[in-house]
Every structure is written in structure tokens, then in C-alpha cells.
Amino acid sequence: MNDNILEVKNLRTSFFTHLGEVQAVRGISFELKKGGILGIVGESGSGKSVSSLSIMRLVEIPGKIVEGEILFDGVDLVKLSDKEIQEYRGREISMIFQDPMTSLNPVYTIKNQMMEVILRHMHITPEKAYEEAKLIEKEKEREKVLEAIKNGKTRKYNKKEALERAVHFLKLVGIPEPETRIKEYPHQFSGGMRQRALVAMALACEPRLIICDEPTTALDVTIQAQILDLLKKVKNELDTTIIFITHDLGVIAELCQDVIVMYGGMIMEKGSVNDIFYNPQHPYTKGLHQSIPTDVVGQKKRLVPIAGSPPDLLNPPKGCPFSPRCKYAMEICIEKAPSLYKISDTQVSACWLQDKEAPDVEGFKKSGGEK
């Protein structure tokens, strides 16, 4: 067994609209090591959210995973039946969404919504089940329960246990007086509180992978920082793996170890945080850096936006998706999409400038070998 918890291979997800096939994700591949935090960054429509929804198999009609494998701990999630994938959702992989104001059901209490995920998935530990089994008086019944424990089957949580667990996790995410506040409805919570509650729900079954789809975008800056600190804290406490999707490079720098830069449904560049921030090797990544405001007091510097707009994924360009906006674009860029060139052991870039036949351009070091 390797230590990759997630391996995505050549994933393609499209939406079949009446206008035609919108290719939202066009063949992405990446691996994720256990215990890491992977950041996926890209502008709106780059395919980052659809990629994450594909992992959860939550892409809605008319969307469909067209091709590819998503190996979670060796199991291909794409091939699972609807029933089987439900066992993974919330239990092994959970997801935190962008807008906490609309992500909770307004007509049920926090308690109800937290407990339902626990009651759905959680089974008591074999030790506890064993203790309980010892108290069963009728021999036949006891044998039956013990046999089940041996086969790894223990009973599900009862309501009392589920409530205790829910309160515990609300406390963990920093909700004050969780015992009373759990009985409230979502509208009685502030935006930051709701996101905390959603984080608690995502954590409640201690999943091995948590996908955060822009969890701080809809929150104001101070709350954003709190939620990021919270994610860091729970990651350490629960020893889980996180995929963090954002369009905010600052958040990536603060939180992640590895970064994937997406554009037009494809991976442009992939590397460690240091690679991406100090040695970007893709014109798009460089462009992103230039469009971040730097907050040095007294210094007036113009932001350099990337000219143009993202490609139309209904008729995606056949070459590199970034080529129409790229100032280094060559003929081949428009003709053919580049494969990933290996920059170092940790970094790859999908750019023809990395090819040994490409002209030398300042700021890009050619490293040759294709991956």
C-alpha cells in the first residue's frame, strides 16, 4: 500500500447542456499524500469546484464524470454504485462548502442536522461493544453479538451518544455553550458560526479526507482568519488530510503544503508552496502573482491584471487553454496542449516554454525532461 490517500487519474467531467458538452474538467491527474494539505487555486470557471465535486460524486445532472479514475485508498470512487458512494460521503470524505448562509437547512435545528450524519455513519468501537456484550444475559444473544464484533460489526450510535458527539465537535470548532446552542436553528447563528457548525458536521465522523471548497470566500476577513486557524487546529488534532480550494493565493500560502494551479479545466502547474510562490514556472502562475495586491505601506504599485478572459469550455481551445492570454504564446501553444514538464522532484508545469526546443525566456528555466 502506498501512502497516497487519493490518486486522481485523467479525470474528465463535462456538463451536457442543450448547447453542447461543456468540458469543465479536462483530464487532470494528481496524488495526495496522507496528512497533507493540498491547495487548488484558479479563477472562477477553472474547474476547481467541479473537480472536488467529482471526487465526492456530487456533480449534478446534466454533469457527468466522463472518464478517469479517482482512487481513494485504492478504491475507485467512480465505479462505486450510488449506495456505496453514500457510505463514503460524510464518513470517509466530507466536504465544506462556500456559502454557510445557504448550506444549512433553515427548517431543522443544528442538533438535528449534526446528529443525522453521526447516526448515519458512526458505529461504536469494538471495545465498547464488547463491554456491552458482556452484560447481555441470554447466552444465545450474547454469542451472536460477540460474533458480529469479531466480524467488525458493531451497533450504530444511539441518540444519546450521537448528541454527545455532536456537542463535543461543536465545542472543538469553538461554538460557545454548545449544549444550548445546538438546539437553535441556523438563522440564529451568525455567518461565522454557521461555517463553524458546518465544519463540525464535516468533522463529526472523523473523515480521512476533507474537501474545503472556498470555505472562507463568503465570510468577512476576520472570520476568514478564524476559520483558517480552526482548520489548521482540527487538522492537527484529528490527523486528517485536506484539499483546500480557493482563488486566494494568500490563503494557500498560509495553509497548504502543495499547490495545484488550474486553468480552463486543466492543471497548469503543480508544486510545493515554495515552488509555486518563489519559482513559478508557468506564465499563468506568474500572472496570478502579479495580480495580487502587495500591502507595503506608502508604496504605490499598479496591479498587473491578466488581460482577456477565461476560455469558453463549450468550445475549448485545442492548444493550451491559457495561450490566448499568454504573452509568450508560440504557434505550438495554439495547436497542441503541452504535457506536464518536470521542473524538479516536486514541481511540474504544463508549458511549452519548458520544452528543450523552446526559445529561452527570462524567468523560465528550462529543465528539459517531459514527465
Partner 1 sequence: MNRYIIKKTLFSILTLLIVVTLVFFMLRAIPGGPFTREKPLPEATRERLEEAYGLNEPLLIQYFTYMGNLFTGDLGPSFRKPAYTVNELLATGIPQTAKIGLIAVIFIIVLGIPLGVISALKSNSAIDYGVMIIATIGITVPSFVIGSLFILLAQKVSWIPVGGLTTPITYVGPVVALAGYSLAFVSRLTRSSMLEVLRQDYIRTARAKGLSESKVIFKHALKNSLIPVITYIGPMIAALMTGSFVVERIFVINGIGKYFTESITARDYTLVIGVTLFYAVFYIIMVLLVDIAYSFIDPRIRMTK
From the list 108-116, 142-150, 230-238, 259-267, the region that binds partner 1 by CB under 8 A is 108-116
Q: Which is nearer to partner 1, 99 or 161 (CB)?
A: 99
From the list 52-60, 68-76, 234-242, 278-286, the region that binds partner 1 by CB under 8 A is 52-60
Site string for partner 1, 77-96 (x = CB under 8 A): -----xx--xxxxxx--xx-
In the set 198, 203, 231, 268, which binds partner 1 (CB under 8 A)?
198
Q: Residue for cell digits 514541481?
A: 347
Query: CB of 262: closest distance to partner 1 in angstroms?
Result: 21
Q: Does 272 bind partner 1 (CB under 8 A)?
A: no
Query: CB of 218: closest distance to partner 1 in angstroms?
Result: 11
Of residues 200-229, which lie at the interface with partner 1 (CB under 8 A)? 201
Q: Does 64 bind partner 1 (CB under 8 A)?
A: no
Query: CB of 96: closest distance to partner 1 in angstroms?
Result: 9
Q: Does 117 bind partner 1 (CB under 8 A)?
A: yes
Angle, helices 110-121/159-172, rounded to nearest 10 degrees? 120
Identity of the residue numbered 229: D
Q: Does 58 bind partner 1 (CB under 8 A)?
A: yes
In the set 9, 34, 64, 120, which binds partner 1 (CB under 8 A)?
120
Query: CB of 141: closest distance to partner 1 in angstroms?
Result: 29
Q: Which is nearer to partner 1, 103 or 241 (CB)?
A: 103
Q: Does 240 bind partner 1 (CB under 8 A)?
A: no
Query: CB of 296: closest distance to partner 1 in angstroms?
Result: 38
Q: Does 354 bind partner 1 (CB under 8 A)?
A: no
Scanning 204-302, the segments in alpha helix (DSSP H) are 221-238, 249-255, 273-278, 283-290
Find out whether 65 and 13 touch, Cβ atoms under 8 Å: yes
Find out whether 36 and 240 touch, Cβ atoms under 8 Å: no
Sheet holding 341-342, edge to edge: 93-96, 209-213, 241-246, 37-41, 258-263, 266-272, 348-349, 341-342
Q: Does 104 bind partner 1 (CB under 8 A)?
A: yes
Rounded Cα distance, 36 and 29, in Å: 17
Angle, helices 159-172/191-203, rounded to nearest 10 degrees? 130
Query: CB of 6: closest distance to partner 1 in angstroms?
Result: 16
Q: What are phi and psi of 170, to 5 degrees?
A: -65, -35
Of residues 172-191, which lie at the interface with partner 1 (CB under 8 A)? 185, 187-188
SS (H, E, C) 291-352: CCCCCCCCCCCCCCCCCCCCCCCCCCCCCCCCHHHCCCCCHHHHHCCCCCEECCCCCEECCH
Sheet holding 20-33, edge to edge: 20-33, 4-17, 63-72, 75-76
Q: Does 19 bind partner 1 (CB under 8 A)?
A: no
Hey, what's the cell of 135?
Answer: 452484560
Q: Does 54 bind partner 1 (CB under 8 A)?
A: no
Rounded Cα distance, 85 and 69, in Å: 14
Hey, what's the cell of 36?
Answer: 497533507
Q: Which residues bind partner 1 (CB under 8 A)?
A: 56, 58, 60, 82-83, 86-91, 94-95, 97, 99, 102-109, 116-117, 120-121, 185, 187-188, 198, 201
